[in-house]
Amino acid sequence: MATSEDTVVNDTHVGKEGKNTNKKKKVTPRYWQLKKEKKNQEQKTDAGQKKETTDDGQKSELAQQQTKEKKPRVKKRKHGGENQEGVQKKAMSVPQKKRKREAGNPQRVKKKPMLVGAKNKTQEDERSKKTGISGGKMDPFPGSAPVPEEKLKKFRRKDRLKLPSRQLYKLRRVMAQSQVVSDMAQNQAARQDLLLPEDAGFLEGDEDEDTCTISQEDITDAVDITSGAKYFNLHLSQFGPYRLDYSKTGRQLLVGGRRGHVACLDWQSKQLMCEMNVMETVNDVKWLHSEAMFAVAQKKWLYIYDSNGIELHCIRKFNDVLRMQFLPYHFLLATASATGFLQYLDVSVGKEVAAIGTKAGRLDVMCQNPQNAIIHLGHSKGTVTLWSPNQKDALVKMLCHQGGVRSVTVDKTGTYMVTSGMDKKLKVYDIRTFKPLQSYFLPAGASSLSLSQRGLLSAATGDIVQVYRDVWSTPVTKPYMAHRLRGPVWGLQFCPFEDVLGVGHGEGFTSMVVPGAGEPNFDGLDANPYRSVKQRQEWEVKALLDKIQPELISLDPGQLGLVDYAGFKQRHEDRVEALGYDPLAVDKFKPRFKKKGRSKSGNIEKRKKQVGHEDTREVIKKTVEDRMRIEKQMAKEKEKRKSFSSQKSALDRFKK
């Protein structure tokens, strides 16, 4: 027969018929069980060490208890008799019995947990410093990470307000709470800014190498496949030259040829959305609030199409349109015509908001300020004018060039404006002061200008496109990048959130890769390049609800939150003239602060009304006296006139 060990080894893990397969598996102990076993082992070792340390001459407590002489047990009498000990027990009180019982049975003595905890407090503190909650090492950097001061300055709001006196404790508490909420929002915004992963990079050449000599083919060979696919050419020589426009999200591209060719596509996936020929001259194309609609300025009128190429509207009030700009937060389409009219169309309701006659001739140079929605127009006399739909006259008129203005562009912050003219000069202006910062001379001049989200400037001269960097901070001596095209340039625009520059020219369209041009981090609630159709529909509804009225367009949008001090002064002067006295000159009655809820706002107003007539009593007396004096003077003058009228003069003989 086989031994028991052989049977255990030969058995497999597969259950057989007729055998009991419900064997208990060996369960691995949990961490709390390991801790208990460890404590028990420590207690055993401590007890063994204590036994070893006892002297040979002395006996342990256990041995002493065993060797003690047992006291004889006293029996009670059966018939109610009591011995001496029984008499003593009867005479003892209840607390004495309790103390004696506890002394006889030491296990029943209650230990105070506070004393035990206090005894081992120092040991627990030392252990907690070395170990964490889960038994591991403590975090060397406890708490939340500090936010840099530079990030906090970026999101800092107004200065802290001075809290009122402690008498106005309710207002003081509300202001303190609002300040705490403001600080928390500032810290959260700064922390979220730290989490933005993307960063803008620029093109850097080797030693003694200019970046303007690097071609687009070299860039596409050095970058990954996805970035290299952003450089491509569309050979459309039959219907050119072309104007272009990118959507707000930067995903869709709209191109329009001079000879009637119009097409829109998703330029990243190269998926064509629609393509048509309107059989008419196309002057400009522009996306509207979403990629579902776009406007085309044709030879005679303005047309609105959807993304499938279906004509939605033909607006005959807008005729001979040359350039267009769309204001996304106001849902306004601004158009400049060959007849010298600047017109605004509200796309949400389909009505004309304003039609302004500029009296400056043909308007073929136009751009918008993204910061305050002001339209900039360039004229043939070298002037640039700023317009708002609320006024019939120009807000600002600047003399920028000695010849005609060829192109104008404004950066996204609304701080700098770049212009180019027939005098072959490129000028940079600070819009806040309307003064020039830099002036550059280009041998052939610049026909088209465009500014990127990161401040790169692209200028087209003939068939060459040059990109400049930091044109307003330091004088620029050479371009950042340069590229030669097949035909003369007719349109330029940087793609939002991408390092791409779109160029429309006589031979079609070219997409250039310009490192460091686009903003790497986008706001998903404003312009999300990866939004779905459902998200676009929801965004469109919210944008319509948050639409800004055209009456709020002004040169300085910060003026809307300020107090009209001039109007207040004028109204105060009118009130003083009407009343005959200044009601704000005398200090008004200030009620004394009372406790127990008697200084509520309603009670304070009641007390003010009770003594309100006393503040104006003296003033009313003075006004009444002044009026009486004036009336007396007027009466005297009337009497004098009557007396003079009753007397006859030498000229009365000529009266009939």
Cα 64 to Cα 79: distance, rounded to the nearest angstrom = 38
List CB contacts of 338: < 8 A, sequence separation 6 or more: 320, 322, 362, 363, 364
pLDDT at 118 exceeding the cut of 50? no
156-165, 225-234, 583-592: which range is least confident on average?
583-592
Find where tokens 């039959």 sit.
238
In this prediction, residue 598 carries a pLDDT of: 82
Strand order in the sheet with 293-298: 282-287, 293-298, 301-306, 311-319
- Please give the share of the chain, as a percent, with pLDDT higher than 70: 79
Q: What is the mean pLDDT of residues 539-559?
A: 92
As given in the structure block, the two tokens for residue 89 are 């027990």
Task: For 318-336, write each residue's pLDDT tens digit.
Answer: 999 999 999 999 999 999 9
CA distance 622 to 599: 34
pLDDT at 274: 95
| pLDDT for 230 beyond 90 | yes
Structure token digits, residue 62: 């256990």
How are strands ordered across the β-sheet holding 425-430? 405-410, 416-421, 425-430, 435-441
- Give the tens place of pLDDT for each residue, 596-626: 888 888 888 888 877 777 767 777 888 889 9
**pLDDT tier at 650 (50, 70, 90 boundaries)?**
confident
Q: What is the pLDDT of residue 423?
A: 93
CA proximity to 524, closest of 192, 73, 264: 192
Nearest 5°: the CA angle 516, 522, 526 is 140
Mean pLDDT over residues 218-241, rounded?
A: 92
218 phi-psi bin (left φ>0, alpha ψ -120 to 50, beta other): alpha
Q: What is the 3-state secondary structure (H, E, C) of 173-202?
A: HHHHHHHHHHHHHHHHHHHHHHCCCCCCCC
Q: What DSSP string runs through 407-457?
A: EEEE-TTS-EEEEEETTSEEEEEETTTTEEEEEEE-SS--SEEEE-TTSEE
Higher local confidence (pLDDT), 29 or 409? 409
CA distance 393 to 382: 18
Summarize the confidence of residues 497-522 as an average pLDDT: 93
Coil, strand or helix at 584: coil
Q: Is the peptide bond before 241 cis (omega within 30 degrees of 0)?
A: yes
Instruction: Give the separation between CA 183 and CA 156, rounded to whole angstroms.
Output: 9
* Whole-number pLDDT of residue 444: 87
CA 65 to chain centre: 81
Q: Would you say residue 83 has pLDDT above 50?
A: no
pLDDT number for residue 3: 42
Q: Are 426 and 446 in contact (CB under 8 A)?
A: yes
Dump pLDDT digits (tens) for 240-269. 899 999 999 999 999 999 999 999 999 999
- pLDDT 10s digits, 371-396: 999 999 999 999 999 999 999 999 99
The pLDDT value given to residue 98: 52
**116 φ, ψ (degrees, to nearest 5):** -65, -40
pLDDT, position 79: 44
